[in-house]
Structure 1
Amino acid sequence: MSTLGQFDIAGRSALVTGAASGLGLAYAEVLAEAGAAVTLSDIDGARAFEEAERLRSEGREVRAATLDVADRRATQAAVAAHVAAYGGLDIAFANAGIDSGDGFWNPDGHRNPDAQIDTLDPAWWDRTLAVNLTGVFNTLREAARVMKDAGKGGSIVVTSSNAAQINVPVVGLAYMPAKAGLAHLVRHAALELAEFRIRVNAIAPGPFVTNIGGGKVKTDPAARAFWDRQIPLGSIAVTEQIKPLALLLASDASSYMTGSHVVIDGGMQLGNFR
Protein backbone atom coordinates (compact mmCIF):
# COMPACT_ATOMS: atom_id res chain seq x y z
CA MET A 1 0.00 0.00 0.00
CA SER A 2 1.24 3.50 -0.80
CA THR A 3 2.03 5.92 1.98
CA LEU A 4 -0.98 8.08 1.16
CA GLY A 5 -3.13 4.97 0.85
CA GLN A 6 -2.48 4.17 4.49
CA PHE A 7 -4.62 7.17 5.45
CA ASP A 8 -7.64 5.76 3.62
CA ILE A 9 -10.50 4.88 5.98
CA ALA A 10 -13.25 4.59 3.37
CA GLY A 11 -15.73 1.88 4.26
CA ARG A 12 -14.95 1.93 7.98
CA SER A 13 -17.22 3.19 10.74
CA ALA A 14 -16.40 5.53 13.60
CA LEU A 15 -18.09 6.66 16.80
CA VAL A 16 -17.13 10.05 18.24
CA THR A 17 -18.27 11.20 21.68
CA GLY A 18 -18.59 14.88 22.48
CA ALA A 19 -19.03 15.49 18.75
CA ALA A 20 -21.51 18.36 18.73
CA SER A 21 -18.80 21.01 18.81
CA GLY A 22 -15.11 21.69 19.31
CA LEU A 23 -12.52 18.97 18.88
CA GLY A 24 -15.12 16.21 18.71
CA LEU A 25 -16.86 17.88 15.79
CA ALA A 26 -13.49 18.33 14.07
CA TYR A 27 -12.78 14.62 14.50
CA ALA A 28 -16.19 13.70 13.08
CA GLU A 29 -15.74 16.05 10.14
CA VAL A 30 -12.35 14.70 9.07
CA LEU A 31 -13.38 11.07 9.52
CA ALA A 32 -16.51 11.59 7.42
CA GLU A 33 -14.57 13.55 4.81
CA ALA A 34 -12.10 10.64 4.58
CA GLY A 35 -14.93 8.24 3.83
CA ALA A 36 -15.90 6.73 7.17
CA ALA A 37 -19.50 6.33 8.34
CA VAL A 38 -19.65 8.33 11.55
CA THR A 39 -21.90 8.59 14.60
CA LEU A 40 -21.79 12.02 16.27
CA SER A 41 -22.78 11.51 19.91
CA ASP A 42 -23.08 14.22 22.52
CA ILE A 43 -24.97 15.13 25.66
CA ASP A 44 -26.27 18.06 23.58
CA GLY A 45 -28.25 15.82 21.29
CA ALA A 46 -30.00 18.66 19.48
CA ARG A 47 -26.69 20.19 18.43
CA ALA A 48 -25.30 16.78 17.41
CA PHE A 49 -28.33 16.19 15.18
CA GLU A 50 -27.93 19.65 13.62
CA GLU A 51 -24.28 19.01 12.80
CA ALA A 52 -25.09 15.56 11.43
CA GLU A 53 -27.73 17.05 9.17
CA ARG A 54 -25.20 19.61 7.90
CA LEU A 55 -22.66 16.89 7.14
CA ARG A 56 -25.28 14.78 5.37
CA SER A 57 -26.10 17.79 3.19
CA GLU A 58 -22.42 17.75 2.18
CA GLY A 59 -22.70 14.11 1.11
CA ARG A 60 -21.23 12.51 4.24
CA GLU A 61 -22.54 9.28 5.78
CA VAL A 62 -23.30 10.25 9.37
CA ARG A 63 -25.86 9.80 12.11
CA ALA A 64 -26.33 11.40 15.54
CA ALA A 65 -27.10 10.22 19.06
CA THR A 66 -27.72 11.81 22.43
CA LEU A 67 -25.26 10.46 25.00
CA ASP A 68 -23.97 11.27 28.47
CA VAL A 69 -20.81 9.15 28.63
CA ALA A 70 -20.95 9.15 32.43
CA ASP A 71 -24.00 6.90 32.09
CA ARG A 72 -22.57 3.39 31.55
CA ARG A 73 -25.78 1.80 30.30
CA ALA A 74 -26.42 4.68 27.91
CA THR A 75 -22.90 4.33 26.53
CA GLN A 76 -23.41 0.62 25.99
CA ALA A 77 -26.68 1.34 24.18
CA ALA A 78 -25.10 4.04 22.01
CA VAL A 79 -22.32 1.72 20.88
CA ALA A 80 -24.84 -1.05 20.19
CA ALA A 81 -26.95 1.34 18.11
CA HIS A 82 -23.89 2.37 16.10
CA VAL A 83 -23.06 -1.27 15.40
CA ALA A 84 -26.65 -1.95 14.38
CA ALA A 85 -26.61 1.02 12.01
CA TYR A 86 -23.22 0.42 10.39
CA GLY A 87 -22.51 -3.26 10.91
CA GLY A 88 -19.53 -2.83 13.20
CA LEU A 89 -17.14 -0.42 14.84
CA ASP A 90 -13.65 0.19 13.48
CA ILE A 91 -12.73 3.52 15.06
CA ALA A 92 -13.77 5.10 18.36
CA PHE A 93 -12.89 8.57 19.58
CA ALA A 94 -13.46 8.82 23.34
CA ASN A 95 -13.47 12.59 23.30
CA ALA A 96 -16.32 13.85 25.49
CA GLY A 97 -15.07 16.07 28.28
CA ILE A 98 -15.91 19.12 30.36
CA ASP A 99 -13.97 21.85 32.09
CA SER A 100 -13.76 21.81 35.88
CA GLY A 101 -14.46 25.42 36.70
CA ASP A 102 -11.99 28.15 37.54
CA GLY A 103 -8.47 27.49 38.70
CA PHE A 104 -6.95 28.67 41.96
CA TRP A 105 -5.21 31.45 40.03
CA ASN A 106 -6.99 33.92 37.78
CA PRO A 107 -5.48 35.12 34.49
CA ASP A 108 -5.32 38.62 35.99
CA GLY A 109 -2.78 37.39 38.53
CA HIS A 110 -4.96 37.03 41.63
CA ARG A 111 -6.07 34.00 43.59
CA ASN A 112 -9.64 32.84 43.08
CA PRO A 113 -11.15 32.57 46.58
CA ASP A 114 -13.80 30.06 45.50
CA ALA A 115 -11.45 27.65 43.73
CA GLN A 116 -8.83 26.83 46.35
CA ILE A 117 -8.44 23.18 47.24
CA ASP A 118 -10.15 23.86 50.59
CA THR A 119 -12.95 26.06 49.21
CA LEU A 120 -14.01 24.66 45.84
CA ASP A 121 -17.37 22.94 45.49
CA PRO A 122 -16.73 19.14 45.51
CA ALA A 123 -19.45 18.78 42.87
CA TRP A 124 -16.89 20.05 40.34
CA TRP A 125 -14.58 17.19 41.25
CA ASP A 126 -17.31 14.55 41.10
CA ARG A 127 -18.74 15.58 37.74
CA THR A 128 -15.36 16.21 36.10
CA LEU A 129 -14.06 12.76 36.97
CA ALA A 130 -17.38 11.17 36.06
CA VAL A 131 -17.20 12.59 32.53
CA ASN A 132 -13.48 13.05 31.83
CA LEU A 133 -12.20 9.81 33.33
CA THR A 134 -15.03 7.37 33.97
CA GLY A 135 -16.83 8.46 30.80
CA VAL A 136 -13.75 7.64 28.74
CA PHE A 137 -13.47 4.27 30.49
CA ASN A 138 -17.11 3.57 29.63
CA THR A 139 -16.53 4.40 25.96
CA LEU A 140 -13.25 2.51 25.75
CA ARG A 141 -14.75 -0.54 27.45
CA GLU A 142 -17.66 -0.82 25.04
CA ALA A 143 -15.53 -0.13 21.97
CA ALA A 144 -12.99 -2.77 23.03
CA ARG A 145 -15.70 -5.35 23.61
CA VAL A 146 -17.20 -4.84 20.15
CA MET A 147 -13.81 -4.80 18.42
CA LYS A 148 -12.63 -7.95 20.21
CA ASP A 149 -15.80 -9.79 19.28
CA ALA A 150 -15.42 -8.77 15.62
CA GLY A 151 -11.81 -9.95 15.53
CA LYS A 152 -10.67 -7.33 13.01
CA GLY A 153 -8.72 -5.03 15.30
CA GLY A 154 -9.44 -1.32 15.44
CA SER A 155 -8.32 2.08 16.63
CA ILE A 156 -9.41 3.81 19.82
CA VAL A 157 -8.35 7.42 20.30
CA VAL A 158 -8.73 9.21 23.62
CA THR A 159 -8.69 12.98 24.02
CA SER A 160 -6.33 13.66 26.89
CA SER A 161 -4.60 17.03 27.39
CA ASN A 162 -1.19 18.57 27.86
CA ALA A 163 -2.61 19.19 31.36
CA ALA A 164 -1.97 15.49 31.99
CA GLN A 165 1.71 16.41 32.24
CA ILE A 166 1.82 20.02 33.39
CA ASN A 167 -0.03 22.05 35.99
CA VAL A 168 -2.09 24.96 34.71
CA PRO A 169 -3.16 27.09 37.70
CA VAL A 170 -5.95 28.88 35.82
CA VAL A 171 -7.64 25.53 35.13
CA GLY A 172 -9.90 23.91 37.71
CA LEU A 173 -8.28 21.38 40.03
CA ALA A 174 -10.12 18.24 38.89
CA TYR A 175 -9.26 18.61 35.22
CA MET A 176 -5.56 17.76 35.51
CA PRO A 177 -5.80 14.59 37.62
CA ALA A 178 -8.60 13.36 35.38
CA LYS A 179 -6.45 13.82 32.28
CA ALA A 180 -3.38 12.34 34.00
CA GLY A 181 -5.52 9.32 34.80
CA LEU A 182 -6.37 9.02 31.11
CA ALA A 183 -2.68 8.87 30.22
CA HIS A 184 -2.28 5.79 32.40
CA LEU A 185 -5.57 4.31 31.21
CA VAL A 186 -4.44 4.60 27.59
CA ARG A 187 -1.13 2.89 28.29
CA HIS A 188 -2.78 0.06 30.20
CA ALA A 189 -5.50 -0.47 27.62
CA ALA A 190 -2.97 -0.38 24.78
CA LEU A 191 -0.92 -3.12 26.42
CA GLU A 192 -3.95 -5.26 27.18
CA LEU A 193 -5.56 -4.92 23.76
CA ALA A 194 -2.46 -5.20 21.56
CA GLU A 195 -2.98 -8.97 21.30
CA PHE A 196 -6.28 -8.27 19.56
CA ARG A 197 -4.74 -5.68 17.16
CA ILE A 198 -6.73 -2.93 18.85
CA ARG A 199 -4.58 0.19 19.09
CA VAL A 200 -5.22 2.74 21.83
CA ASN A 201 -3.62 6.18 21.60
CA ALA A 202 -4.22 9.61 23.11
CA ILE A 203 -4.27 13.06 21.60
CA ALA A 204 -3.06 15.61 24.16
CA PRO A 205 -4.17 19.07 23.02
CA GLY A 206 -3.17 22.36 24.50
CA PRO A 207 -5.52 25.35 24.22
CA PHE A 208 -7.87 25.33 21.24
CA VAL A 209 -10.68 27.69 20.30
CA THR A 210 -13.66 25.64 21.51
CA ASN A 211 -16.61 25.97 23.89
CA ILE A 212 -14.61 24.61 26.81
CA GLY A 213 -14.44 26.99 29.74
CA GLY A 214 -17.63 28.65 28.62
CA GLY A 215 -16.14 29.52 25.24
CA LYS A 216 -14.45 32.64 26.62
CA VAL A 217 -11.67 32.54 24.03
CA LYS A 218 -14.32 33.04 21.34
CA THR A 219 -15.91 36.11 22.91
CA ASP A 220 -13.42 37.69 25.31
CA PRO A 221 -10.35 39.32 23.67
CA ALA A 222 -8.54 39.38 27.02
CA ALA A 223 -9.02 35.62 27.47
CA ARG A 224 -7.81 35.01 23.92
CA ALA A 225 -4.77 37.21 24.45
CA PHE A 226 -3.92 35.42 27.72
CA TRP A 227 -3.82 32.02 26.03
CA ASP A 228 -1.98 33.34 22.98
CA ARG A 229 0.79 34.52 25.31
CA GLN A 230 1.24 31.01 26.69
CA ILE A 231 2.07 29.49 23.29
CA PRO A 232 5.64 29.60 21.92
CA LEU A 233 4.27 29.26 18.37
CA GLY A 234 2.34 32.46 19.01
CA SER A 235 -1.37 31.71 19.20
CA ILE A 236 -4.06 29.39 20.45
CA ALA A 237 -5.05 26.75 17.89
CA VAL A 238 -8.22 26.35 15.85
CA THR A 239 -9.88 22.97 15.53
CA GLU A 240 -8.89 22.52 11.87
CA GLN A 241 -5.33 22.08 13.09
CA ILE A 242 -6.12 18.85 14.94
CA LYS A 243 -7.72 17.07 11.98
CA PRO A 244 -4.53 15.65 10.36
CA LEU A 245 -3.44 14.11 13.67
CA ALA A 246 -6.89 12.60 14.18
CA LEU A 247 -6.81 11.00 10.74
CA LEU A 248 -3.32 9.65 11.37
CA LEU A 249 -4.37 7.88 14.57
CA ALA A 250 -7.64 6.60 13.11
CA SER A 251 -6.03 5.11 10.03
CA ASP A 252 -3.47 2.44 9.15
CA ALA A 253 -0.88 5.20 8.87
CA SER A 254 -0.42 4.70 12.63
CA SER A 255 -0.46 0.91 12.47
CA TYR A 256 2.71 0.66 14.60
CA MET A 257 1.54 3.16 17.21
CA THR A 258 -0.20 2.17 20.42
CA GLY A 259 -0.02 3.57 23.92
CA SER A 260 1.17 6.92 22.57
CA HIS A 261 0.31 10.28 24.13
CA VAL A 262 0.69 12.72 21.25
CA VAL A 263 0.97 16.34 22.37
CA ILE A 264 -0.35 19.08 20.08
CA ASP A 265 -0.04 22.35 22.01
CA GLY A 266 2.08 24.80 20.05
CA GLY A 267 4.99 24.18 22.40
CA MET A 268 3.16 25.17 25.58
CA GLN A 269 4.76 22.32 27.53
CA LEU A 270 8.19 23.70 26.72
CA GLY A 271 7.55 26.93 28.61
CA ASN A 272 7.36 30.36 27.05
CA PHE A 273 10.18 32.73 27.88
CA ARG A 274 9.52 35.46 25.31
Structure 2
Amino acid sequence: MTAHDDATGTNGREAYLGRVFDIRDRHVLVTGAASGLGQAIAEAMVDAGAVVTLVDRDADPLRELADRLAGRSGTVEHALCDVADASAVRATVEAATARFGGLDVAFVNAGIAGAPRTDDESRRLERVQLDDWERVIGVNLTGALNTMRAAAAVMRPRRSGRIVVTASTAGLRADPMVGYPYVASKAAIVNVVRQAALDLAPDQIRVNAIAPGPFRTNIGGKRPRSAEAEATWARTIPLGRMADPEEIKGLALLLASPASSFMTGAVFPVDGGALALSHTI
Protein backbone atom coordinates (compact mmCIF):
# COMPACT_ATOMS: atom_id res chain seq x y z
CA MET A 1 0.00 0.00 0.00
CA THR A 2 1.35 3.43 -0.91
CA ALA A 3 1.37 6.45 1.37
CA HIS A 4 -1.43 7.91 -0.77
CA ASP A 5 -3.50 4.74 -0.41
CA ASP A 6 -2.98 4.78 3.34
CA ALA A 7 -3.98 8.46 3.61
CA THR A 8 -7.16 7.91 1.65
CA GLY A 9 -7.88 4.44 3.01
CA THR A 10 -8.79 3.25 6.49
CA ASN A 11 -6.55 5.66 8.39
CA GLY A 12 -7.64 8.66 6.35
CA ARG A 13 -11.30 7.74 6.67
CA GLU A 14 -11.03 7.30 10.42
CA ALA A 15 -9.22 10.62 10.74
CA TYR A 16 -11.90 12.42 8.74
CA LEU A 17 -14.79 10.88 10.67
CA GLY A 18 -13.02 11.55 13.91
CA ARG A 19 -12.60 15.20 12.99
CA VAL A 20 -16.12 16.01 11.80
CA PHE A 21 -17.85 14.15 14.64
CA ASP A 22 -15.33 15.06 17.34
CA ILE A 23 -16.91 16.26 20.61
CA ARG A 24 -14.11 15.15 22.90
CA ASP A 25 -13.76 17.40 25.94
CA ARG A 26 -16.72 19.56 24.91
CA HIS A 27 -19.09 20.42 27.73
CA VAL A 28 -22.54 18.99 27.03
CA LEU A 29 -25.54 19.49 29.31
CA VAL A 30 -28.53 17.12 29.03
CA THR A 31 -31.84 17.75 30.80
CA GLY A 32 -34.23 14.89 31.49
CA ALA A 33 -31.12 12.71 31.46
CA ALA A 34 -32.17 10.06 33.97
CA SER A 35 -34.42 8.08 31.63
CA GLY A 36 -35.65 7.53 28.10
CA LEU A 37 -34.20 9.56 25.26
CA GLY A 38 -32.25 11.81 27.63
CA GLN A 39 -30.41 8.80 28.99
CA ALA A 40 -29.60 7.56 25.47
CA ILE A 41 -28.34 11.02 24.47
CA ALA A 42 -26.21 11.24 27.60
CA GLU A 43 -24.70 7.82 26.91
CA ALA A 44 -23.82 8.84 23.35
CA MET A 45 -22.13 12.04 24.50
CA VAL A 46 -20.11 10.32 27.23
CA ASP A 47 -19.04 7.49 24.93
CA ALA A 48 -17.89 10.10 22.38
CA GLY A 49 -15.58 11.63 25.00
CA ALA A 50 -17.56 14.70 26.04
CA VAL A 51 -17.74 16.26 29.49
CA VAL A 52 -21.40 15.72 30.33
CA THR A 53 -23.58 17.33 32.99
CA LEU A 54 -26.64 15.17 33.60
CA VAL A 55 -29.67 17.13 34.80
CA ASP A 56 -32.92 15.68 36.13
CA ARG A 57 -35.40 16.17 38.95
CA ASP A 58 -35.41 12.47 39.98
CA ALA A 59 -32.46 12.00 42.31
CA ASP A 60 -32.10 8.22 42.51
CA PRO A 61 -32.15 7.35 38.79
CA LEU A 62 -29.95 10.38 38.09
CA ARG A 63 -27.32 9.19 40.56
CA GLU A 64 -27.55 5.63 39.25
CA LEU A 65 -26.96 6.80 35.68
CA ALA A 66 -24.00 8.94 36.71
CA ASP A 67 -22.47 5.96 38.50
CA ARG A 68 -23.04 3.68 35.51
CA LEU A 69 -21.47 6.12 33.04
CA ALA A 70 -18.44 6.83 35.22
CA GLY A 71 -15.24 5.39 33.80
CA ARG A 72 -16.30 5.61 30.15
CA SER A 73 -14.55 7.79 27.58
CA GLY A 74 -15.97 11.09 28.80
CA THR A 75 -16.43 12.83 32.14
CA VAL A 76 -19.75 12.79 34.02
CA GLU A 77 -21.25 15.16 36.56
CA HIS A 78 -24.87 15.41 37.63
CA ALA A 79 -27.17 18.08 39.02
CA LEU A 80 -30.64 17.87 40.51
CA CYS A 81 -32.97 20.44 38.96
CA ASP A 82 -36.61 20.93 37.97
CA VAL A 83 -36.62 22.70 34.59
CA ALA A 84 -39.96 24.35 35.42
CA ASP A 85 -38.11 26.45 38.02
CA ALA A 86 -36.40 29.22 36.02
CA SER A 87 -34.07 30.36 38.81
CA ALA A 88 -32.98 26.78 39.52
CA VAL A 89 -32.24 26.18 35.85
CA ARG A 90 -30.22 29.37 35.57
CA ALA A 91 -28.21 28.49 38.69
CA THR A 92 -27.59 24.94 37.45
CA VAL A 93 -26.39 26.05 34.01
CA GLU A 94 -24.20 28.81 35.45
CA ALA A 95 -22.61 26.44 37.98
CA ALA A 96 -21.91 23.79 35.34
CA THR A 97 -20.51 26.40 32.97
CA ALA A 98 -18.22 27.80 35.65
CA ARG A 99 -17.02 24.31 36.57
CA PHE A 100 -16.05 23.36 33.04
CA GLY A 101 -15.14 26.75 31.60
CA GLY A 102 -18.04 27.11 29.20
CA LEU A 103 -21.01 25.32 27.68
CA ASP A 104 -20.72 23.91 24.17
CA VAL A 105 -23.96 21.95 23.74
CA ALA A 106 -27.29 21.96 25.59
CA PHE A 107 -29.76 19.16 24.98
CA VAL A 108 -33.11 20.58 26.08
CA ASN A 109 -34.80 17.23 26.51
CA ALA A 110 -36.83 17.14 29.74
CA GLY A 111 -40.48 16.42 29.07
CA ILE A 112 -43.60 14.71 30.37
CA ALA A 113 -46.67 13.27 28.68
CA GLY A 114 -49.37 14.33 31.12
CA ALA A 115 -52.05 12.29 32.83
CA PRO A 116 -52.34 8.67 31.65
CA ARG A 117 -54.92 8.14 28.93
CA THR A 118 -56.99 5.05 29.66
CA ASP A 119 -59.68 5.36 26.98
CA ASP A 120 -60.70 7.38 23.96
CA GLU A 121 -63.02 9.54 26.05
CA SER A 122 -60.04 10.96 27.94
CA ARG A 123 -58.79 12.51 24.68
CA ARG A 124 -61.93 14.53 24.13
CA LEU A 125 -61.52 18.30 24.21
CA GLU A 126 -64.15 18.61 26.97
CA ARG A 127 -62.10 16.27 29.18
CA VAL A 128 -58.89 18.34 29.17
CA GLN A 129 -57.96 19.02 32.79
CA LEU A 130 -56.46 22.46 33.32
CA ASP A 131 -54.14 21.28 36.09
CA ASP A 132 -52.75 18.64 33.74
CA TRP A 133 -52.49 21.24 30.96
CA GLU A 134 -50.53 23.64 33.17
CA ARG A 135 -48.21 20.90 34.44
CA VAL A 136 -47.31 19.67 30.94
CA ILE A 137 -46.90 23.17 29.51
CA GLY A 138 -44.82 24.08 32.56
CA VAL A 139 -42.27 21.34 31.85
CA ASN A 140 -42.39 20.86 28.08
CA LEU A 141 -42.67 24.48 26.99
CA THR A 142 -41.79 26.82 29.86
CA GLY A 143 -39.14 24.39 31.12
CA ALA A 144 -37.62 24.17 27.65
CA LEU A 145 -37.66 27.97 27.36
CA ASN A 146 -35.99 28.26 30.78
CA THR A 147 -33.20 25.93 29.67
CA MET A 148 -32.74 27.59 26.29
CA ARG A 149 -32.54 31.04 27.90
CA ALA A 150 -29.97 29.90 30.44
CA ALA A 151 -27.88 28.19 27.77
CA ALA A 152 -28.03 31.19 25.43
CA ALA A 153 -26.96 33.52 28.23
CA VAL A 154 -23.66 31.67 28.71
CA MET A 155 -23.10 30.85 25.03
CA ARG A 156 -23.73 34.27 23.52
CA PRO A 157 -20.67 36.00 25.04
CA ARG A 158 -18.46 33.25 23.58
CA ARG A 159 -20.21 33.45 20.17
CA SER A 160 -20.40 29.70 19.99
CA GLY A 161 -22.70 26.87 20.98
CA ARG A 162 -25.39 24.41 20.05
CA ILE A 163 -28.87 24.02 21.51
CA VAL A 164 -30.79 20.87 20.62
CA VAL A 165 -34.42 20.63 21.72
CA THR A 166 -36.47 17.44 21.91
CA ALA A 167 -39.74 18.24 20.15
CA SER A 168 -42.05 15.53 18.76
CA THR A 169 -43.82 14.51 15.60
CA ALA A 170 -46.93 15.30 17.66
CA GLY A 171 -45.89 18.93 17.35
CA LEU A 172 -45.86 18.73 13.56
CA ARG A 173 -49.31 17.26 12.96
CA ALA A 174 -52.49 16.35 14.81
CA ASP A 175 -51.98 13.09 16.70
CA PRO A 176 -54.92 11.16 18.16
CA MET A 177 -52.57 8.95 20.17
CA VAL A 178 -51.57 11.69 22.63
CA GLY A 179 -53.34 14.33 24.68
CA TYR A 180 -54.00 18.02 24.09
CA PRO A 181 -51.39 19.38 26.54
CA TYR A 182 -48.59 17.34 24.97
CA VAL A 183 -49.54 18.28 21.40
CA ALA A 184 -49.80 21.95 22.33
CA SER A 185 -46.46 22.04 24.12
CA LYS A 186 -44.59 20.30 21.32
CA ALA A 187 -46.16 22.38 18.56
CA ALA A 188 -45.22 25.55 20.41
CA ILE A 189 -41.63 24.51 21.08
CA VAL A 190 -41.06 23.85 17.36
CA ASN A 191 -41.67 27.51 16.62
CA VAL A 192 -39.67 28.62 19.66
CA VAL A 193 -36.73 26.68 18.19
CA ARG A 194 -37.09 28.46 14.86
CA GLN A 195 -37.38 31.85 16.54
CA ALA A 196 -34.33 31.19 18.71
CA ALA A 197 -32.34 30.03 15.68
CA LEU A 198 -32.93 33.41 14.01
CA ASP A 199 -32.12 35.31 17.19
CA LEU A 200 -28.91 33.42 17.99
CA ALA A 201 -27.53 32.93 14.47
CA PRO A 202 -25.52 36.20 14.49
CA ASP A 203 -23.73 34.83 17.56
CA GLN A 204 -22.94 31.56 15.77
CA ILE A 205 -25.19 29.53 18.08
CA ARG A 206 -27.04 26.76 16.24
CA VAL A 207 -30.52 25.84 17.45
CA ASN A 208 -32.22 22.70 16.15
CA ALA A 209 -34.90 20.25 17.20
CA ILE A 210 -35.21 16.50 17.14
CA ALA A 211 -38.80 15.33 16.57
CA PRO A 212 -39.09 11.73 17.73
CA GLY A 213 -41.97 9.53 16.75
CA PRO A 214 -42.98 6.58 18.95
CA PHE A 215 -40.01 5.36 20.99
CA ARG A 216 -39.93 2.65 23.64
CA THR A 217 -39.67 4.89 26.68
CA ASN A 218 -41.75 5.28 29.83
CA ILE A 219 -42.70 8.92 29.22
CA GLY A 220 -46.39 8.09 29.61
CA GLY A 221 -45.93 6.35 32.95
CA LYS A 222 -43.61 4.28 35.10
CA ARG A 223 -44.57 0.99 33.48
CA PRO A 224 -43.55 -0.06 29.95
CA ARG A 225 -46.29 -0.03 27.33
CA SER A 226 -48.30 -3.22 26.94
CA ALA A 227 -47.81 -5.40 23.88
CA GLU A 228 -51.26 -4.28 22.69
CA ALA A 229 -50.37 -0.59 23.04
CA GLU A 230 -47.08 -1.10 21.23
CA ALA A 231 -48.84 -2.92 18.41
CA THR A 232 -51.28 0.00 18.10
CA TRP A 233 -48.38 2.45 17.79
CA ALA A 234 -46.57 0.16 15.34
CA ARG A 235 -49.53 0.24 12.95
CA THR A 236 -49.03 4.01 12.56
CA ILE A 237 -45.40 3.62 11.39
CA PRO A 238 -44.34 2.58 7.86
CA LEU A 239 -41.31 0.70 9.26
CA GLY A 240 -43.79 -1.30 11.32
CA ARG A 241 -42.31 -0.90 14.79
CA MET A 242 -41.54 1.51 17.59
CA ALA A 243 -37.96 2.76 17.96
CA ASP A 244 -35.45 1.91 20.65
CA PRO A 245 -33.81 4.85 22.49
CA GLU A 246 -30.47 3.77 21.01
CA GLU A 247 -31.75 4.96 17.64
CA ILE A 248 -31.66 8.62 18.71
CA LYS A 249 -27.91 8.57 19.32
CA GLY A 250 -26.66 9.10 15.77
CA LEU A 251 -28.69 12.25 15.18
CA ALA A 252 -27.81 13.56 18.64
CA LEU A 253 -24.10 13.16 17.89
CA LEU A 254 -24.51 14.83 14.49
CA LEU A 255 -26.21 17.89 15.99
CA ALA A 256 -23.65 18.16 18.80
CA SER A 257 -20.64 17.88 16.49
CA PRO A 258 -18.85 20.01 13.86
CA ALA A 259 -20.66 17.94 11.21
CA SER A 260 -23.75 20.13 11.77
CA SER A 261 -21.90 23.43 11.39
CA PHE A 262 -24.33 24.81 8.78
CA MET A 263 -27.54 23.49 10.34
CA THR A 264 -29.80 25.76 12.35
CA GLY A 265 -33.53 26.35 12.68
CA ALA A 266 -34.29 22.81 11.51
CA VAL A 267 -36.57 20.11 12.88
CA PHE A 268 -35.37 16.55 12.28
CA PRO A 269 -38.01 13.79 12.51
CA VAL A 270 -36.93 10.35 13.74
CA ASP A 271 -40.19 8.52 13.20
CA GLY A 272 -39.85 5.48 10.96
CA GLY A 273 -41.61 7.32 8.13
CA ALA A 274 -44.77 8.22 10.08
CA LEU A 275 -44.83 11.84 8.91
CA ALA A 276 -44.34 10.78 5.29
CA LEU A 277 -47.35 8.49 5.63
CA SER A 278 -49.49 11.26 7.10
CA HIS A 279 -48.74 13.49 4.12
CA THR A 280 -50.00 10.86 1.68
CA ILE A 281 -53.37 10.26 3.31
Would you call these one fold, judging by a TM-score over 0.5? yes
- Which one of the candidate residues 73, 78, 96 is aligned to 1:82? 96
User: In structure 1, how many angstroms separate the alpha carbons of the residues matched to 2:241 and 2:221?
Assistant: 19
Q: Which runs of 5+ in 2 are unaligned?
A: 1-14
- Which one of the candidate residues 254, 269, 273 is aligned to 1:248? 254
- Which one of the candidate residues 144, 151, 166 is aligned to 1:143? 151
Q: TM-score, normalised by structure 2?
A: 0.90
* Local SS of the residue matching 2:29: strand
Shift of 1:215: 5.0
Q: Is the 8 A contact 1:102 1:170 kept in 2?
A: no
Shift of 1:2: 2.8
Letter in 2 for 1:256: F
User: In structure 2, how many angstroms separate the alpha carbons of the residues matched to 1:146 and 1:184?
Assistant: 22
Matches within 5 A, 1:72-111: 72-102=86-116, 106=119, 111=120
Q: Is the 8 A contact 1:129 1:178 kept in 2?
A: yes
Matches within 5 A, 1:17-28: 17-28=31-42
Shift >2 Å, 4+ stretches? 1-4, 57-60, 100-103, 270-273
User: In structure 2, how many angstroms separate the alpha carbons of the residues matched to 1:119 and 1:210?
Assistant: 25
Letter in 1 for 2:56: D
Letter in 2 for 1:32: V
User: In structure 1, how many angstroms separate the alpha carbons of the residues matched to 2:23 and 2:29?
Assistant: 13
Letter in 2 for 1:222: E
The size of the alignment, in residue pairs, is 265
Query: Larger radius of gyration, structure 1 or 2?
Result: 2
User: In structure 2, how many angstroms separate the alpha carbons of the residues matched to 1:95 and 1:76?
Assistant: 16
Letter in 2 for 1:238: D
Shift of 1:59: 5.0
Shift of 1:116: 2.2
Cross-structure match for 1:56: 70
User: In structure 1, how many angstroms separate the alpha carbons of the residues matched to 2:191 and 2:225?
Assistant: 35
User: In structure 2, how many angstroms separate the alpha carbons of the residues matched to 1:270 and 1:248?
Assistant: 22
Cross-structure match for 2:6: none
Q: Is the 8 A contact 2:108 2:163 kept in 1?
A: yes
Shift of 1:271: 2.6
* Local SS of the residue matching 1:180: helix
Shift of 1:78: 0.8
Instruction: Say yes or no: does 1:163 pair with 2:170.
Output: yes
- Which one of the candidate residues 123, 131, 137 is aligned to 2:131? 123
Matches within 5 A, 1:37-48: 37-48=51-62
Shift of 1:3: 4.7
User: In structure 2, how many angstroms separate the alpha carbons of the residues matched to 1:93 and 1:204?
Assistant: 13
Q: Which runs of 5+ in 1 are unaligned?
A: none
Cross-structure match for 1:31: 45
Q: Is the 8 A contact 1:72 1:138 kept in 2?
A: yes
> Are residues 201 and 270 of structure 1, via their aligned partners in 2, closer, same or farther at CA, if it must alter by over 3 Å?
same
Q: Is the 8 A contact 1:20 1:44 kept in 2?
A: yes
User: In structure 1, how many angstroms separate the alpha carbons of the residues matched to 2:140 and 2:148?
Assistant: 12
- Which one of the candidate residues 262, 270, 273 is aligned to 2:276? 270
Shift of 1:123: 0.7
> Are residues 22 and 213 of structure 1, via their aligned partners in 2, closer, same or farther at CA, if it must alter by over 3 Å?
same
Q: Is the 8 A contact 1:102 1:171 kept in 2?
A: no
Shift of 1:186: 0.6
Instruction: Say yes or no: does 1:13 pair with 2:24.
Output: no
Shift of 1:67: 1.0
* Local SS of the residue matching 2:16: coil
User: In structure 1, how many angstroms separate the alpha carbons of the residues matched to 2:229 and 2:127?
Assistant: 24
- Which one of the candidate residues 181, 187, 194 is aligned to 1:174? 181
> Are residues 60 and 9 of structure 1, via their aligned partners in 2, closer, same or farther at CA, if it must alter by over 3 Å?
closer
User: What is the alpha-carbon root mean square deviation over aligned residues?
Assistant: 1.7
Identity among equivalent positions (%) equals 48
- Which one of the candidate residues 187, 198, 201 is aligned to 1:194? 201
Instruction: Say yes or no: does 1:214 pair with 2:209.
Output: no
Cross-structure match for 1:259: 265
